[in-house]
């Protein structure tokens, strides 16, 4: 018993290092989420109601969620495809080792570059008087806006989201690509498999859970983005985060409990996406062991 006391005391002291994280998660994640969820089921008089949830199915709100889902799907699919290609190139493409370090460093920075700075960068580059827009017009006689391009439209916002979706994909999928064992490739070659057959029958089935999980994570990352969309388009695109932002400010709907319901709907969608990511990641880790 005397020997157990220092051991137990040491373990209890180890928990002190986790206390700031637990307190932060409780104050800024768990309690606000619980407040949003419960607020979605009460009216202004404090009575239980399902009216707030029912109001989510009005045309304006369903269109906003539909647009957000399409926007998130487009940016996540493009980001997943391009990021996966980059990860394959730097890990298995025989490129110089220094290029991988540069790529990973840039990906770490670019994946967190969003909001007003990112919107300003795109406006300065591809806006109506942006650098690339004027360069194409004056040097090559190509006016991208007369051809139908619109930076503050749907595809313009997709292009902006892709800027941080691609590097996030690179950061997440690179460890999975590194997990492909050389012995698998050698065994496939010994058995007479071609490169295409190896990727179709061995590599892609192993990477598939990681790819699906990362796609779900990119979807959630895009679906919850609001600062970039507001800074770039204002209220021209009525997506769910902007609708929620306007509701919180009270400029449009002026119904806080409907705002809770909007936030609750977004929590459900992003929660499902993150749940898919967690399940697929656990399956991918079992494959890599």
The 10s digit of each residue's pLDDT in 152-184 is: 889 999 999 999 999 999 999 998 898 888 888
pLDDT value for 278:
86
SS3 category, 48: strand
pLDDT value for 288:
61
pLDDT value for 186:
85
pLDDT value for 2:
54
**For the segment 112-144, what is each residue's pLDDT rounded down to a tens digit?**
888 888 999 999 999 888 899 999 998 998 888
Tokens of 45: 């008089």
pLDDT value for 9:
55
pTM of the model: 0.86
pLDDT tens track of the chain, all 289 residues? 555 555 555 566 677 778 888 898 888 888 888 888 888 888 877 788 888 889 889 898 999 999 999 999 999 999 999 999 999 999 888 788 888 889 999 999 998 888 888 999 999 999 888 899 999 998 998 888 888 888 888 999 999 999 999 999 999 999 889 888 888 888 888 888 888 888 888 888 888 888 998 999 999 999 988 888 888 887 778 888 888 887 776 554 567 788 888 889 998 998 898 888 888 878 777 766 6
Q: Of 153, 73, 154, 156, give the one whose Cα is nearest residue 122.
A: 156
Furthest C-alpha separation in the chain: 85
pLDDT value for 133:
92
SS3 category, 42: strand
Distances in Å between the Cα of 78 and the Cα atoms of 82, 164, 170, 197, 205 are 6, 11, 12, 25, 20
> What end-to-end distance do the CA atoms of the chain give, in Å?
39
Tokens of 1: 């018993």
DSSP for 62-110? HHHHHHHHHHHHHHHHHHHHHHHHHHHHHHHS---HHHHHHHHHHHHHH
Phi, psi torsion values for 48, nearest 5 degrees: -65, 135
pLDDT value for 5:
56
Q: 59-288 belongs to which CATH class?
A: mainly alpha
Residues 90/103, Cβ–Cβ less than 8 Å: yes
pLDDT value for 227:
84
Q: Of 210, 186, 214, 211, give the one whose Cα is nearest residue 198.
A: 186
Tokens of 151: 């930076």
d(CA 218, CA 172): 10
Tokens of 17: 């290092």
pLDDT value for 93:
80
pLDDT value for 3:
52
pLDDT value for 81:
95
Location of structure tokens 């204002």: 234
DSSP 146: T
pLDDT value for 173:
92
DSSP percent split of the chain into helix, strand, coil, nearest 5: 75, 0, 20
CA 71 to chain centre: 11
Residue boundaries of the structural domains of the chain? 59-288
């Amino acid at each position: 018993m005397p020997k157990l006391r220092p051991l137990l005391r040491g373990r209890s002291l180890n928990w002190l290092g986790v206390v700031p994280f637990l307190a932060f998660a409780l104050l800024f994640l768990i309690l606000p989420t619980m407040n949003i969820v419960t607020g979605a089921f009460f009216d202004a008089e404090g009575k239980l109601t399902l009216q707030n949830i029912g109001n989510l199915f009005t045309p304006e709100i369903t269109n906003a969620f539909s647009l957000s889902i399409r926007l998130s799907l487009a940016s996540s699919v493009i980001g997943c495809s391009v990021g996966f290609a980059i990860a394959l190139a730097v890990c298995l493409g025989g490129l110089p080792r220094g290029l991988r370090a540069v790529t990973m460093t840039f990906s770490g920075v670019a994946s967190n570059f969003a909001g007003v700075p990112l919107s300003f960068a795109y406006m300065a580059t591809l806006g109506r008087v942006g650098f690339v827009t004027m360069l194409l017009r004056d040097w090559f006689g190509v006016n991208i806006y007369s051809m139908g391009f619109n930076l503050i439209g749907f595809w313009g916002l997709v292009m902006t989201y892709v800027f941080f979706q691609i590097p996030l994909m690179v950061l997440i999928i690179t460890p999975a690509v590194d997990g492909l064992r050389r012995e698998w490739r050698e065994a496939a070659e010994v058995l007479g498999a071609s490169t295409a057959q190896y990727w179709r029958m061995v590599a892609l089935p192993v990477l598939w859970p990681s790819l699906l999980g990362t796609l779900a994570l990119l979807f959630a990352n895009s679906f919850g983005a609001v600062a970039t969309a507001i800074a770039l388009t204002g209220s021209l695109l009525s997506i769910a985060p902007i609708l929620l932002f306007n509701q919180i400010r009270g400029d449009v709907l002026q119904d806080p409990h409907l705002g809770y319901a909007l936030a609750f709907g977004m929590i459900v969608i992003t929660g499902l996406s993150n749940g898919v990511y967690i399940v697929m990641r656990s399956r991918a880790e079992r494959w890599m062991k």
